[in-house]
A and B are shown apart, each in its own frame.
Chain A
Amino acid sequence: MTIEMEVPPAETGPARLPRLLPPVPVRGLRAHDERYGPVRLCGEALIAEVERSGLTGRGGAAFPAGRKLRSVADRAGRRGAVLIANGMESEPLSAKDASLLARAPHLVLDGIALAAEAVGADQAYLCVHRPGQAEELSAAAAERAGRDAVTIALLPDRYVASEASALVNYLNGGPAVPLFTPPRPFERGVRGRPTLVSNVETLANVALISRHGAGWFRSAGAPDAPGSALVTVTGAVRRPGVHEIALGTPLRDVLALAGVSGTSDAQAVLAGGYFGSWLPGRIALGVPASAPGLRAAGASFGAGILMVLPPAGCGLAETARVIRYLAGQSAGQCGPCLHGLPEIATAMERLAFGGGPGRAVRALTELCALVEGRGACHLPGGVARLAASALRVFSDDVRHHQRGPCAGARGRAAFWVPPAGPGERA
């Protein structure tokens, strides 16, 4: 997307988007070096520049990237640290990390090398779950022999495998499921060492900040959410896909990139993906696409997923399908998640497809309160938040469903949801 912005001196970096996502893939190392030029800042100077840039994590939590780099660098000591680049993208709706890794693999690999060096990591991993992706990235990494080294790790494809402690667990020889924290990875991670776990888009931004600096980085985006970000627009849209946007762009303009022309096209928007919250269409369109903007509206930016519910769709039915899928993705380690999520899914299905909600709303509210914050990872809380937002945004539908499921719920699903089988997806 092209957004007019204050134009920084031309030699400091591209004045317009795209920054991260070249329109044509830049696969080879030579083509990459020609397009992006050499890296500039590194080490402590780079950490300070990332702190000044205001870059936040693009994996979902939007934690300040500079502070995270610093916290690992401070702990590295003589034993050294470890870096994990998270390219798992377990949110089934998200395609932005895959797009980035396919179109600018060396930008991510630059970021990995720079961040590893800055925090004192002598070992770096790039975690993905698609075999084809691992092959391509291994070939890209091989091109850099002598420049830097990264191990491409192919992990199982399951929702919770992308959680930071699950990556650490796997690289330590365990299963790719979350650990009990603290200690968190930045305190004690791979082989007991301080471990930086960072999303691949965050690391690509670090590579650009090294080249062009914090001032350039902040020349796009909003003061409270600087820079650009990759979003995946999906659901009932004419042109689903991944776009790079200036953070703070109104959702209306972001959705327009996918062919959404207004509230007549969007009954509601699921912002943040399965780990996010619903927003009514009429409110969503005016909200700035950024972590603070969406938080203020009662949703989240998460990993930049925006799923559009069509006017005739039933939000309760779609939510029920998503929650049944998420319940199947529980690693089964924690009792409240193992038992609670299937019960939440059943209550949601009763509400959406049953002969009248009856006590389902109250049961749902109680169950959500019961599972929140009681797992090793945030999966139960995510499900509770999604269910609560559905009850809030689709409260009229809840009332209409007293007389039985609506036409939308009886009809075909508006969205593809992966099969609800437990564990790994095919």
Chain B
Amino acid sequence: MLIRAELVTPELNLVNRSFYNSLFTMHGTIMIFLWIIPSLSGLANYLVPLMIGARDMAFPRLNAMAFWIVPPAGLLLLSSFFLPGGSAQSGWWSYPPLSIQNPSGNILNGQLFWILAIILLGISSIMTAINFVTTIVWMRAPGMTFFRMPIFVWTVLSAQILQLFFLPSLTGGLILLLFDLCFGTPFFRPSKGGDPILYQHMFWFYSHPTVYVWALPAFGIFSEIIPAFSRNPLFGYRSVAVASLGIALFSALVWVHHMFTSGTPNWMRMLFMLTTMLVAVPTGVKVLAWTATLWRSKLHLETPMLFALAGVVMFLFAGITGVMLGAVPFDLHVNNTHFIVGHFHYIVYNTITVAIFGAIYFWFPKITGRMYAEGWGKIHFWLTLIAANLTFFPLFPLGLQGMVRRISSYNPEYAKWNFIASLGGFLLGISILPFIANIVSSWLRGIPATNNPWRATGLEWITTSPPPRENFAEIPAVNFPPYSYGQPQAWAGENSPQE
């Protein structure tokens, strides 16, 4: 909100330039590493064992260790604001040579804290990935074959496989950056024969797949909510399951599209244009599957479904702009402009965060044993829908008109759209309030929930709300294909056990 406040007017008038640079650097870093990844991991941590009929994750102590790394790493990152030179200020990518310049000259500087915090969080994520992959492979209940798992589990599996294999590239790159920053090594120093483009490759080799680490569980959430509120099995379940792995695979092959304007040879730009375009195919399979699930069904429009539907539509828009960005000549015009900022905010806020809201409403009765207030949920939804579009849609025309990103002041010709975006930003901030109020008050005093208030399929709905400590009184055996909305025994009744 500070960023949007500064950008209300073309001139610099709220914060100084260095601080503005730390603001957008830390905004990106915190949102990615301390909001999206941890909250999705947390949601999956809670749901995956329930969904596969297990009592807990495969390695509970490792799980705890992975969690407890996060708060200290977060504190380390935030504390950098209080350092004499301020926090890291080179953008969340920390591109060298800028990130190794260390203008303050201090040994303890914001960039160092940033690198250490991210390395720590990476270690936590790898531990989590080991845990999830082992859990899903080894701890499914009897009868739960791979092709009976809910799509959420498929997407978590795909996402965690990505984390396992690609996060080390970031870790490696950050270690090299650390050495350059602290010990004066020449890895990324052009004056000493090093190459900043190497950093970009190491960084993006992870940081592209990571966007799918975030998006895949969001797709999984849509795949759980939409069938439940359409009373239909998910259309094309198998293709959607395979597409989850397909997205993971393809996402490994596109990272250079973040470097189309960088020091990449022409042939490389063309190759990665092709692969980037192709990633739209498995993603499209999912969107079309959700659409087909809705078709000729019986829709219930409670809050979780509203968020899921809005998320799907806004994702479609974001995805289409993504394919546009894959077209290199077009990207040459809009790279590093607000067009990109708009594109990725439509993904991370309008799709993923919206999915997380939907998930919280959907599983709230299960987790807390109480129902949230539906009316307030709808208010939160409408405010979010309006505000999210108001805030991020203007960024597209701004980018097309040439407004570069990461600037603290801009030419007056961009003022109109910026004003609308800032208005939206403030509205977005306000829209969170009914959500928080709803969650807190419902958790404390809401109507007690039944085991399965949504009459949804899935093993998590057959246990009590909230589940007992070991998740299930008895490990269930699975006899139905997933999303069996046509078979009432699969979802009806509060306490009816599986056959």
Do the two chains belong together in a single complex?
no
Residues in chain A within 8 A of chain B (CB atoms): none
Residues in chain B within 8 A of chain A (CB atoms): none
